[in-house]
Structure 1
Amino acid sequence: MSGFQCKAFYVGHDRCGMKVGTDSLLLGSWVSLSETRQVLDIGTGSGILALMMAQRLTEQGTANAIVDAVELDTAAAQQAADNFAASPWTDRLTAIQADILQWSSQTRYDLVISNPPYFVAGQQLACEQRQQARLESSLTLAMVLTRAEGLCSQQGRIGLVLPLERLVDVSAWADNNGWYVARTLSIRGRQNKPVKRVLIELTRESIAPDHQTLTIHDADNQYSEAFQALTRRFYLAF
């Protein structure tokens, strides 16, 4: 079976269009869980982000926390359900096979998190599953943000990982909808390389923004101390 082993859980991903990658591991390690009891993961895929949220909520002692994970693709949703069932947090995690644009919930979430399709449609990928997970064909960034807004509590937050060039789109959406870019973490592979990814946290509250940068590898091509410190609770190597 193809998958990824974290310290506290295993993620099978052989039935998913997108495999476990650094983007999700960074977002799941970084996003704030302060005053968070209900989490929604949009487009969960293998369930990696939802599992990370369940682990962190348990570690911080948050009672009665729940993590719901919605996935359109039937095979991926079943794999997420299997991964949840094999984890230590089965009572917190729920995998839901549904179209997020049609799905409704009575719950209003303290955090809506997503590693969404973030390349604009136009190219054609060989794998239909990967096409759906990677490209904005049936689910655009604006759709993700609008659905996340509707499912957030009044104090809720939205957490995303995107290519740096999409930050301007998120900022424009926030400006037009009464939200604010509260935190960002720009990610570069090495010190002499340009930033390629950005982690984003949105709130309805206007606060002084916190913008930081993280470099994954140091000059010796080893994982940097900052990267290790951020992801240590998940990576086996640290």
Structure 2
Amino acid sequence: MAAGFACKQFVISHEHCAMKVNTDSFILGSWSEAPMRGRALDIGCGSGILSLMLRQRMGQSSQVLALDIDEGAVRQTRQNVAASPWPDDITVFNADVRHHDIAGLFDVIVCNPPYFANGQVGSRTHLQQSQTRQQARQQDSLSADELFGITANLISEQGTLQCLYPTAQAAHIIEQASQHGWCLQRQLTVIPKPDKPSHVTAFGFSRQPVSTPELASLLIRKADNQYSQAYRALCQPFYLAF
């Protein structure tokens, strides 16, 4: 898996990307709402996996715009898109969403954003990572406040924003989103194993308030280390082993 990851309808090469294909990507891409037709925006596209997962689920006449500030990631995404069944439906830009003039509104926006706030870079291992990988993981490059503020001006009236943050930040993320008019619609707490605490949570926001947000949890592996049935069902449209 060093050079790539084969999905059912496309292959993701990721050797030139700071952030490799991982479980979080599969969960967010599989769980995110995807209208059958419309426009999608992938902020911080990395290898392009979320763009391709969205395009597979959205169907014909859909268009995806993918952005990343890292030139290597953009080249990788373009290669993966060109080799996919939808080379004409995904447009990739080397751009910073904070400064790039994006025309039109989107029906769905996805972002697997930087994980760590400044001063929370984590372990010694993380400190030894490459500069591009640290940039991809730290909120210095795109804070939650910036993400919610920018996307509020890019979403259609009925559109949704799907993102993923550490579970420890969940309450703060929901509060930050609400300050920009985003309403929590869905929330998925991801649990790696029964004896492990949740590490990340996926969020689905809309501009329309809902009376009761949908709150759920997802166990990735059972106690015997086998994938759970829920995880298999969620990722089945993409994961070759399922």
Give the shorter-chain TM-score range. over 0.9
Find 2:81's aligned residue among 80, 84, 99. 84
SS in 1 for 2:165: strand
Query: Which residue of structure 1 lines up, in the alignment, with residue 102 of structure 2?
Result: 105
CA distance in 1, matches of 2:103, 2:85: 26
Is structure 2 residue 151 aligned with structure 1 residue 144? no
SS in 1 for 2:179: helix
Structure 1 residues 121-157: Cα deviation after superposition (integer angstroms, max 9, x where no partner): 2344430110110111222121122111121112221
Segment drifting more, 10-19 vs 30-39: 30-39
Query: Which residue of structure 2 lines up, in the alignment, with residue 166 of structure 1?
Result: 169
Work out the percentage of aligned pairs sharing the same amino acid.
Answer: 38
TM-score normalised to the size of structure 2? 0.92
Query: Which residue of structure 2 lines up, in the alignment, with residue 181 of structure 1?
Result: 184
- Which residue identity is paired with 2:195? N
Query: Which residue of structure 1 lines up, in the alignment, with residue 93 of structure 2?
Result: 96
TM-score normalised to the size of structure 1? 0.94
Query: Which residue of structure 1 lines up, in the alignment, with residue 200 of structure 2?
Result: 197
Given that 1:24 and 1:161 are in contact with CA atoms closer than 8 Å, whether structure 2 keeps it comes out as no
Given that 2:112 and 2:163 are in contact with CA atoms closer than 8 Å, whether structure 1 keeps it comes out as yes
- Which residue identity is paired with 1:2? A
Segment drifting more, 208-217 vs 132-141: 132-141
Query: Which residue of structure 2 lines up, in the alignment, with residue 30 of structure 1?
Result: 31
Regions of 4+ moved over 6 Å: none
CA distance in 1, matches of 2:140, 2:47: 20
Shift of 1:10: 0.7
Structure 1 residues 52-111: Cα deviation after superposition (integer angstroms, max 9, x where no partner): 0011112xxxx4110110010111111101110000011211111111111122220011
Query: Which residue of structure 2 lines up, in the alignment, with residue 209 of structure 1?
Result: 213
Query: Which residue of structure 2 lines up, in the alignment, with residue 219 of structure 1?
Result: 223
Give unpaired runs (5+ residues) of structure 1: none
CA distance in 2, matches of 1:126, 1:211: 34
SS in 2 for 1:64: coil
Shift of 1:36: 4.9
CA distance in 1, matches of 2:146, 2:177: 13
Find 1:234's aligned residue among 232, 238, 241. 238
- Which residue identity is paired with 2:219? T
> How many equivalent pairs are there?
234
Is structure 2 residue 4 aligned with structure 1 residue 7? no
Given that 2:145 and 2:177 are in contact with CA atoms closer than 8 Å, whether structure 1 keeps it comes out as no
Shift of 1:35: 5.9
